[in-house]
Amino acid sequence: MATATVTSKGQITIPVRVREALGVESGDRIEFVEIEEGKFAIVAATRSIRELKGMFHDPRRKPVSIEEMNAAIARRAAESK
């Protein structure tokens, strides 16, 4: 397991093994994503948004209208109350 120590300024040095696995280098950005209370995932935030184009495309799926999206959001909001 890779570990790091937090400095008095709240900084850490990411271990080499972790940087290599994430594919991050000096100057790159990372995000801390809370996956559950008290647990975070470290995610490389170095990709351009343009690289994500088509990542979730499934030709078998039919397009969804704005009205269908709004209805789904309203249903979920009502369920969470």
For residue 10, being part of any structural domain is answered with: no
Q: In sequence order, what are the beta bridge partners of 36? A: 39
Residue 9 included in any domain: no
Q: Is residue 11 included in any domain, yes or no?
A: no
- Total domain count for the chain? 1
pLDDT of residue 60: 85
In the three-class reduction of DSSP (H, G, I as helix; E, B as strand; rest coil), residue 76 is classed as: helix
5 within a domain of the structure (yes/no): no
CB-based contact 31:40 (threshold 8 Å): no
Instruction: Assess if residue 44 is contained within a domain.
Output: yes
Is the pTM here over 0.75, yes or no?
no
* Tens digit of each residue's pLDDT (9 = 90 or more) over 30-49: 989 898 899 998 888 876 66
Domain that holds residue 52: 16-79
**Residue 1 in domain:** no
